[in-house]
Amino acid sequence: MSGRRRPKARSADTVVPGEGPTPDECALFRESLGKVRPFSAPEPPPRPAPPPPEARQREADELAVIAALDKPSPEDMAWLNGDEWVFLRPGLPQGLLRDLRRGRIRTQSDLDLHGLIAEEARLAVAQFLQDARRQRLTCVRIIHGKGLGSPGQMPVLKRLVGLWLMRRQEVLAFTQAHPAEGGSGALRVLLGRGTRKR
C-alpha cells in the first residue's frame, strides 16, 4: 500500500476558490429571480413655481397717498378745476395762463414719471425743475400719467405733482397738456426765476 492519500469527496455545497458557477447554475439562478428591473430612487416632486413678486412697498405707498388725498384742504382744491389742474401765481396776468393753455408757449423739456412711486416722483420733479432753472428754460412738460395702474385707478401722481408745483416759487403757472401732449396725463409748466423751494 502506497503512502498517497485519496482525495476527499466534496459535497455540492463545498466552494473551491478559483472555481465559479457553471453556465447551468447561472441560468438556473436567473430563472429563479424571474423578471427584474434596475432599482432607481423616485425623483423628488417638482418644486412649485415661486409666486410672482408683489410690489408691496409700491402699493403701501400709493394707498397711503390715496388716504391723504381723500381729505384735501380747501387751499389744495382751489386750483383743481374738475379733473383739470389750473394754476396761476397771484399777481400775474390771466393772459399768461391763456397762452400756456393754448400752446402759444413752446415746451422745451419733458419729464416722464411713469413707474415711479410718490417719493421717487417727488425727487425727480425737484431735480428736473432745478435742472430747468439752471438751463434757463421757460416752459416744460411733466407727464404724471392718468392713474390707470394705481389702486382704484385714482390719479395719485396727478394730484401730488400739482401740489408740489404750487409750492415752488419758480413755477409761475401750469395747466393740463393738449391731447397730443398727453392730455389729462400731463401738465404744461411755465417757469420763472423765483427762489427755489424744497
**pLDDT tens track for 163-176:** 899 889 899 999 99
φ, ψ for residue 121, nearest 5 deg? -65, -40
Is residue 56 situated within a structural domain?
A: no
Q: Is pLDDT at 153 greater than 60 in this prediction? A: no
Determine the average pLDDT of the residues in 135-139: 94
pLDDT at 27: 77
In percent, the amount of the chain with pLDDT more than 90 equals 24
Q: Is residue 130 one of the residues assigned to a domain?
A: yes
How many domains, the chain?
Answer: 1
Instruction: For residue 7, tell me if it sits in a domain.
Output: no
Q: What is the pLDDT of residue 54?
A: 55
Q: Give 16-79 as a 3 state SS string.
A: CCCCCCCHHHHHHHHHHHCCCCCCCCCCCCCCCCCCCCCCHHHHHHHHHHHHHHCCCCHHHHCC
Query: Which is more confident, 82 or 146?
Result: 146
Which of 22-26, 52-56, 171-175 has the highest average model confidence (pLDDT)?
171-175
State the CATH number of the domain containing residue 118.
3.30.1370.110
pTM to 2 decimals?
A: 0.58
